[in-house]
Chains A and B, each alone.
Chain A
Amino acid sequence: MSRLSFSNLPLRTAVLFLFLVVATWSSSSRIHAQAKDLGWSGYTSSDELNSTLAEIVQQNADRARLRQIGTSGEGRPLWMVEIGRRDRRNPDERPALLVVAGVDGTHLPGTEACLSLIKNALTRNDPAQEEESGSPDFSTLLSKNTLYVIPRINPDVTEHLFRWPLSDRKTNTRPVDNDRDGTTDEDGPEDLNGDGVITSMRKRDPAGSEMAHEKDPRLHKKSSQTKGEVSTYKIYPEGIDNDGDGEINEDGPGGVELNRNFPFQYDLHDPATGPHQISEPESRALADFFLSHRNIAAVLVYGPEDNLVAGTKSTRGSGGPSSGGPRAGTRAGRGEAARSGFGGRQPVTSIAADDLPYFTYMAEKYQEITKATGKSVPSPAGSFLNWVYYHYGIPGLGASIWSGPPKKTEEPDEVKEGDSPDPKEPEARPGRQEGERGDREFGGRGRGRRGGRGAPPMPPSAGGDSPDEDQQWLAYSTDRLLGEGFVDWSPYDHPTLGEVEIGGFVPFLRLNPPADDITPLLDSQVRFVWTLMGLLPNVSVEKTDVVEKGSGLFEVNVTVRNNGYLPTALRHGLATRQMRPIQVELLLGEQKLLAGDAKRRIDRLEGSGKTSDHSWLIQGKKGSSVLIKVTSRKGGSSRVEVRL
Chain B
Amino acid sequence: MKTNSTVLRANALSSVDSSNQGNSPMSIGIRIFLLLALIVPHSTGQPAVAADRVKVPLRFDHFYDFEELTSALHSLAEAYPQLLDLASIGKSFEGRDMWLMTIHNPKTGPEMEKAAMWIDGNIHGNEVQASEVCLYTIWYLMENYGRIEEITRIVDERVFYVLPSQNPDGRAHWFNALNTSSSSRSGKKPTDNDGDGLFDEDGYDDLDGDGELLMMRRKNVDGRWRPSHDDPRLMERAPAGEPGGYDILGYEGIDNDGDGRINEDGPGGYDLNRNWPSDWEPEYIQFGASEYPLCHPESKSISRFILAHPNIAGVQSYHNTGGMILRGPGSQSFGSYPRQDAAVYDLLGEKGEKILPYYKYMIIWKDLYTVYGGFVNWTYEGLGIFSFTNELFSSKKYYHDKNAERSRGGNTERLKFDDWLEFGHQYVEWKPATHPTYGDIELGGWRRETGRVPPVWMLQEECHRNFAFTVLHADQMPLVSVREITVKSLDQGVHEITATVENTRLIPSVSARAREKRIGLPDFFSIESLDLKVLSGGILTSKDFNRLNVVEYRPERIAIEGGVSSAKAGGGGGFRGGRGGGSGSSGPVTVRWYVTGKGTATLRYESQKGGVSTGIVTIK
Contacts and interface: CB of A to CB of B under 8 A. Distances in A.
A263 B552 contact: no
Given A343-B370, A453-B518, A278 B293 contact: yes
B294 A276 contact: yes
Contact of A452 (B195, B278, B518): B518
Contacts of B552: 246
A181 B608 CA distance: 12
B577 interface: no
Interface in B415-464: none
B259 A599 contact: yes
Contact of A345 (B192, B280, B285, B307): B285
Given A291-B291, A577-B284, A180 B522 contact: yes
A584 to B, nearest CB: 12
Interface in A322-343: 330-331, 333-339, 341-343
Nearest to A337: B332
B521 A335 contact: no
Given A180-B521, A276-B303, A330-B333, A343 B369 contact: yes
Interface string A560-591: 00000000000000011110110100000000
A497 to B, nearest CB: 14
Contacts of B284: 345, 575-578
Given A244-B553, A338-B332, A278 B285 contact: no
Contact of A180 (B260, B278, B285, B518): B518
B533 to A, nearest CB: 15
Contact of B365 (A278, A343, A578, A597): A343
Interface string B258-282: 1110000000000000000110111
B408 to A, nearest CB: 16
B493 interface: no
A391 interface: yes
B23 to A, nearest CB: 28
Contact of B372 (A333, A343, A583): A343
A335 B332 contact: yes
A334 B368 CA distance: 16
Contacts of A263: 280, 282, 292-293
A266 B372 CA distance: 14
A547 interface: no
Contact of B294 (A277, A335, A575, A598): A277
Nearest to B197: A580
Most buried by A among B284, B295, B307, B368: B284
Contact of A277 (B197, B277, B370): B277
Nearest to A279: B294
A278 B292 contact: yes
A182 interface: yes
A466 B281 CA distance: 37
Contacts of B382: 268, 276
A119 B284 CA distance: 40
A421 B332 CA distance: 26
A245 interface: yes
B292 A342 contact: no
A391 B289 CA distance: 12
Contacts of A583: 196-197
Given A338-B331, A343-B369, A576 B283 contact: yes
A330 B285 contact: no
A291 B191 CA distance: 13
B199 interface: no
Interface string A375-400: 00000000000000011000000000
Given A333-B333, A599-B259, A578 B283 contact: yes
A598 B303 CA distance: 45
Contact of A335 (B333, B517, B522): B333
B48 interface: no
A223 interface: no
B559 interface: yes
B331 A334 contact: yes
Interface string A506-523: 000000000000000000
A597 B259 contact: yes
Contacts of B339: none
Contacts of B182: none
B31 interface: no
Contact of A342 (B192, B369, B521, B553): B369
A268 B278 contact: yes
A327 to B, nearest CB: 9
Interface residues of A, number: 51
Contacts of A337: 332
Interface residues of B, number: 45
A268 B277 contact: yes
A159 to B, nearest CB: 26
A269 interface: yes
A345 B259 CA distance: 28
Contacts of A177: 521
A321 B579 CA distance: 52
A277 B280 contact: yes
Nearest to A341: B369
Given A345-B285, A391-B282, A453 B259 contact: no
B190 to A, nearest CB: 13
A481 interface: no
B241 interface: no
A334 B370 CA distance: 10
B554 A245 contact: yes
A423 B335 CA distance: 18
A275 interface: yes
A338 B293 contact: no
A575 B40 CA distance: 50
A454 B293 contact: no
Given A268-B382, A597-B260, A338 B370 contact: yes
B337 interface: no
B549 to A, nearest CB: 15
Interface in B519-558: 519-522, 524, 552-554
A337 to B, nearest CB: 6
Contacts of A342: 369-371
Nearest to A278: B292
A347 interface: yes
A90 interface: no
A191 to B, nearest CB: 24
B258 A598 contact: yes
Contacts of B554: 243-245
Contacts of A343: 285-286, 331-332, 365, 369-372
A277 B292 contact: yes
Contacts of A454: 518
A287 interface: yes
A454 B307 CA distance: 19
Nearest to A333: B333
Given A277-B293, A278-B293, A583-B197, A334 B369 contact: no
A243 B553 CA distance: 10
A631 interface: yes
B380 to A, nearest CB: 12
A7 to B, nearest CB: 20
Interface of A: 177, 180-182, 243-246, 263, 266, 268-269, 275-279, 287, 291, 330-331, 333-339, 341-343, 345-347, 390-391, 452-454, 575-578, 580-581, 583, 597-599, 631, 633
What are the 7 closest A-B residue pairs judged by CB atoms, nearest first? A343-B370, A453-B518, A334-B333, A276-B277, A246-B553, A342-B369, A338-B370
25 contacts: A245-B553, A266-B277, A276-B294, A276-B303, A278-B292, A330-B333, A334-B331, A335-B331, A335-B333, A336-B332, A338-B332, A339-B368, A339-B369, A342-B369, A345-B285, A347-B281, A347-B282, A347-B285, A390-B282, A452-B518, A453-B518, A454-B518, A578-B284, A598-B258, A633-B197
Given A330-B335, A335-B331, A345-B285, 20 more contacts: A180-B518, A182-B521, A182-B524, A243-B554, A246-B553, A263-B280, A263-B282, A263-B292, A268-B277, A277-B277, A334-B332, A339-B370, A342-B370, A346-B285, A580-B195, A598-B258, A599-B196, A599-B259, A631-B197, A633-B197
